[in-house]
Chain A
């Protein structure tokens, strides 16, 4: 009883605060008091506490071993004669955080892996921007993530990551959908789950409520004939017509809700600037020590750093420097990913300016069977996108978020409110193939970043990298605690033919985020990720998985 009372008080306080924020922000429609009232009986605080998730789906299976590199494992170099990246000799430094590769005025991407201060793991040089987030203690890199009875099919494995039910092809509700559904806000808040990509991913799909996907936020309006540019006639008639009563039919409520949602969100999105002209977000420091960058020719503020979202060439790092030079290696990212950054920018803006709980997008191209690239090429280019994205999102929320140094109008979200998480369906073979690429394998790596994430200096081990060390938790002998397994051989060969075996279930990572960050109760989490309710699945505390008999670690303590 007492707890219940407290919750009500909390919610009242929230209502009051929200109304003020909403009015102040000029986005009053964000705060719909009736829907908040409607969910007053729900458990937990998902959606109420202002905590949010930004996901980036790395589709095609990221090569985790050339992302977060087990540099001290001698088999790494053996397995990867052409793809292997040599670590900077100082990676063994165990006292500091990640190395900052910063060549001062000539900052570029280097060619040696960057130590993480663990004496074992190192970052691929193209992930160098992660070092800044890592050293702030706000980045957790969870290695050896997978699930039992790993499917090596892209389709199946992506489906399992999204529906949260490995080996279940039928479940068509996504994990994030269920998390939002548990909030009680689905179908009532104008925006809850948002993806910015070609179609709504399964992770946000569900049968009881529809999330919003926008393939292109700049297209999110109605043409309103006869005058697409300015058609009060259509808009007025359309609005009126959607309020007309009709006899009840099976889907009329759904249609009505979604038409309403459409009309509400049209207004919301119309108030946000997704255009190129609106992409004015710049770093607050001369990025990566590139002190000579002056925004030359870009229209940018020369006193600031690189643009955070490189959606055009001129907004991409070292493009057209003051001296007129144009240095590819000083681009923040490969120019081929501009549309991704458009989507990422939209997701960030949506999270920052609306009440949406989860937003995200995807990055394609990780299926690197051929010519993957060592320090340049296809996979390194994708690494650069990942590294810069997480770096830039952190800066975005720290500068332009709620309480930031230069908050956007109506900013609702601070860096502490956000957890960024990446997903990728599986890892790739340890041994490179004859095409200088890697094939489908098992466990991979997840990146988790946010103001409250317990990374370097804040986690139990003091490391920001998990499951990638010789003996991460001292005194523990179980195989899941170490990179090396019990028999002293490298985990890289834990499964025949060079597959990295899972040490942690991806659901434990997502589960920890959903419970500790979003604020789900354990009961809610048991519904969001059904295996949590099955003790011998060991998702929470670890142990022998009842599904396949392997030791897994359970939640790793990233929050």
Chain B
């Protein structure tokens, strides 16, 4: 008898909360086999996006169907089957295929695209938190409202740069101070040397500052012949409203004979005279000071009497240039007024010290004593020293007494022994409060009885975790500060050396990127501090891994890559002036860091517009050098360099062939003439008209700009500027087009938006007309262009397209106004049947063009919100359409296994420090380079790294991706762990620790549960049902011996939590899962 087995219902059930899912319909074939033993129902695997479950129900009547538990459904390579021994003649089956819930999908999409992949904790939090994933998206769109942990507070400093200069170079000294010692109405001015020798002196000027002033002053002097020159100084208030009087020194430039203004007093200076200087200083004459013995001033010096009236306590500036001679090494130039009228100064106050934050965590083993010492003679300021329980620095009660150094040192808190007895509490500097510890060493210390130390620290116990943190200044050059607990000479104990270069403390390294060396005022090129490209990359990637402002991080990379600049081209440019590669590296990294900082700051503003970001770019020295505006001249007959005009139209704003042509490029090229860079005083960093710095460094080296101290900044050079002649974005006459660019020609009509844009834009003009300008006013040309371009519809379109590619999928072609190209029709917004992609772009343009509450257009959060609310972003079909870039791949692998332990550490023991190149690494060996030469901040083509998949995906780069994740999963000490030579050993994960956090012990012993957990965190956007074969494979992987040859059941015998074999088994299975194709996707 043939049983009747009707297939009653086969349907797709879609659970949908936030948006409609993508329906897949059509008949499903349920194949039923029945025999005397029972019935077997089988159905093929259905390839449906985000398919979550195969629900099978059965019943003897249609009205009484019960669901069959998933464990009873067998999973085969080709499909599923279910067998039942029931031989009743009639049975009904119902199969329901369900996609993943929309909230779960949106959680995964948001974390895949708005973040550098999900972390296990975020997956749980975002999905279950009130508001669900939409709340997360809303929060990420307002990054200013997301608080950062303390590790992400970065201070801003100013850049200093100076290269060694030769002794043959003129140095200019400028002293500001008070006139004193004047008796009567006249003063005498002395120049002399402190010993036998000679020096050239020129351009002596003494000018009174007329001002109101409030200062108290201390006598200061300058010693010109030590390297560096030393000054004594004291901080004072700053005067306001000053102007300089005339030079009261006669013949101070020594262009006239000596007798004009000067006399020789005593016998020691008879050889002195006005001569031609041996090294050019821009003038014909200089004073050659020749001393046979030391001068003293009155009666024994070069002297100028009858210096015009000066008044005691008037503020004055003394400046002069001098050229020390090789045979005068121990005599120095003194210039002063008669009496005790030494010029006192407040101008040489050094910048306040850069405070560096240092932390470490470890296990205490010794007696509870904390040591601080230097490894040689020197000093360092320390403040806010904390020792807390646990591994999170700065969190919890400070176990130390007087760790803020606000109270005087006493034996109750701090002891100073042997080489450290000079140590004092300083009120000169403090990071907080009034005092800091000025730790002074006469020789190297070593802990017990030779350090500054605190005893009997309450509550410190052996084997417990502690974290130490403190702020310090850069120690005396080449000295290392050590802060450690007693007994920590053995491994694994709490010890921190600061400022060091070990991976653990890099998070703070960028704080010192622009810190001048307090010993010299020079940009710090020692290994202390830092600010190299490698430091910048480490900082950037570390943020990508751990910042809660994930969307800000993703967008930071997007804009950095959109507004591309190239570190090595900056170095090429700086190579004109400097010899020191380390210095050039840091200066170029500083340009990158400054633009990155400005973009971040702009994006934290809720009203951030595209113009705000574009403005950062046009003013960036890195861009000005990269796209050749730096030397572009439009004055006279010069033909301006077209590079930047071309790229701002083609790459940064409108998109290639999207509403402009070559003649517009030519027309705009003059707007960028004069946009250049210069080394200016730090105070002038934001002044594009500032003169070149005249602050000289103190070192030996080549002459020229390399001996100046200052900051390389955007600088407008009006001499290069050529005023614009014709309106940009014009409808150029075809035959005589170039003549339109000349003055007096017929003004060409404006270009108008293409018909495809539709209402209200089509046909509207978008010409840029610049008034004729001269001099510094010419800078406005560039800003006018940027403002107009940022508001151009084509710009809104092109940027929207790029953002859609970033957040939705790759297949948004570039828009174009070339009517015979397919893309023209693709973005025809008048077409009622336009694609969903084109419609999304149009909606983005509308959002862009809708003024915000501040009345401006181009609000990026509106555009992003449009994308994040779109069907394309949210639908089941929309997930996993993109392939991760190398940066996204590596960072997401770290984040995927990175859950917070109770003590604040993470189950992924890396912060990404090594993946893009740490200091000292070979650039070709770092993971991001091996995966296809993704050299952060150093893209060699102005189009930026590709967002689409094809350029990144080839066999060779995939092999390196796979090697990377496998290295990541290996236990420390395994021989192949160091595979990524400059990264592997810093690349540590602990998947078993993750399981301990998330599963119970019985669950950890169950292969299916373990696999299920990892599938859920590694492929959150893929439906469970679609992962069935991965699941089978991974469970099999867990249940096989490591050589794969024999069965070795997981969760039994030696393969249980807590033993090494279990750890190996889990690591290798997770490593296997991370190598699979689906983990390449986001």
Q: Which residues of A contact B (CB under 8 A)?
A: 155, 159, 169-170, 172, 198-200, 205-215, 219-228, 230-234, 236-238, 240-242, 244-252, 254-256, 258-259, 261-262, 265-266
Contacts and interface: CB of A to CB of B under 8 A. Distances in A.
A247 B940 CA distance: 37
**A-B pairs, 7 with minimum CB distance:** A233-B1044, A199-B933, A210-B954, A226-B1068, A262-B955, A223-B966, A228-B976
A242 B1076 contact: yes
B1067 A169 contact: no
Q: Which bracket fits the contact residues of B?
A: 35 or more
Given A240-B1033, A261-B954, 12 more contacts: A169-B646, A170-B650, A200-B932, A200-B954, A226-B1068, A232-B1043, A233-B1040, A234-B1044, A247-B1026, A249-B881, A252-B1077, A255-B1081
A199 B929 contact: yes
B81 interface: no
A244 B1019 CA distance: 15
Contacts of B1072: 225, 234, 237-238, 241
Nearest to B1078: A246
B1001 interface: no
B47 A258 contact: no
23 contacts: A169-B941, A198-B933, A200-B933, A207-B950, A210-B954, A212-B955, A213-B956, A214-B956, A222-B1075, A223-B962, A226-B1067, A232-B1044, A233-B1043, A233-B1068, A238-B1072, A251-B949, A255-B883, A255-B953, A255-B1080, A255-B1081, A256-B1077, A259-B1077, A266-B959
Given A246-B1078, A251-B882, A258 B953 contact: yes
A337 to B, nearest CB: 16
Contact of A233 (B950, B959, B1037): B1037
Contacts of A259: 958, 1077
B810 A251 contact: yes
Interface stretch (B328-336, B435-443, B760-768, B967-975): B967-975
B880 interface: yes
B924 A225 contact: no
B1 interface: no
B35 to A, nearest CB: 30
A213 B954 contact: yes
B537 interface: no
A223 B979 contact: yes
B48 interface: yes
Contact of A213 (B810, B957, B1036): B957
Nearest to B1068: A226
B954 A212 contact: yes
B940 A155 contact: yes
A227 B971 CA distance: 12
B809 A169 contact: no
Nearest to A232: B1044
B1068 A225 contact: yes
B924 A215 contact: yes
Interface string B391-403: 0000000000000
B902 interface: no
B971 to A, nearest CB: 9
Given A199-B933, A255-B953, A256-B1077, A245 B47 contact: yes
B51 interface: yes
A251 B883 contact: yes
A223 B967 contact: yes
B930 interface: yes
B966 A237 contact: no
A223 to B, nearest CB: 4
B1045 A238 contact: no
B1068 A232 contact: no
Nearest to B1041: A233
Nearest to B952: A210
Interface string B1062-1075: 00110110011001
A232 B1037 CA distance: 11
Contacts of A205: 951
A4 to B, nearest CB: 30
A234 B955 contact: no
Interface string B43-55: 0010111110000
A243 to B, nearest CB: 9
Interface centre among B955, B966, B967, B1065 (most CB of A within 10 A): B955
Given A226-B1067, A258-B955, A251 B929 contact: no
Contacts of A213: 932, 954, 956-957
A241 B1043 contact: no
Contacts of A159: 941
Contacts of B1030: 241, 244
A225 B1026 contact: no
B962 A215 contact: no
Given A210-B954, A213-B954, A251-B882, A241 B943 contact: no
B569 interface: yes
B942 interface: yes
B405 to A, nearest CB: 50
A250 B882 contact: yes
B930 A215 contact: yes
Contact of B1071 (A212, A215, A225, A256): A225
A57 to B, nearest CB: 14
Contacts of B522: none
Given A170-B656, A241-B1033, A259-B1077, A228 B975 contact: yes
B1077 A255 contact: yes
Given A199-B932, A244-B1030, A226 B1042 contact: yes
Contact of B949 (A225, A240, A245, A254): A254
B479 interface: no
A227 B954 contact: no
B275 to A, nearest CB: 30
A247 B943 contact: no
B958 A258 contact: yes
Interface string B877-907: 0001111000000000000000000000000
B196 interface: no
A250 B811 contact: yes
Interface string B926-945: 00011011000000111100
A208 B954 CA distance: 11
B959 A222 contact: yes
Interface in B29-59: 45, 47-51
B943 A169 contact: yes
A187 to B, nearest CB: 10
Contacts of A215: 924, 930, 956, 960
Contacts of B1078: 246
A251 B1081 contact: yes
Contacts of A238: 1072, 1075-1076
Contacts of A226: 1042, 1064-1065, 1067-1068
B660 to A, nearest CB: 14
A222 B1068 CA distance: 13
A151 to B, nearest CB: 10
B929 A198 contact: yes
Contact of B1026 (A223, A240, A246): A246
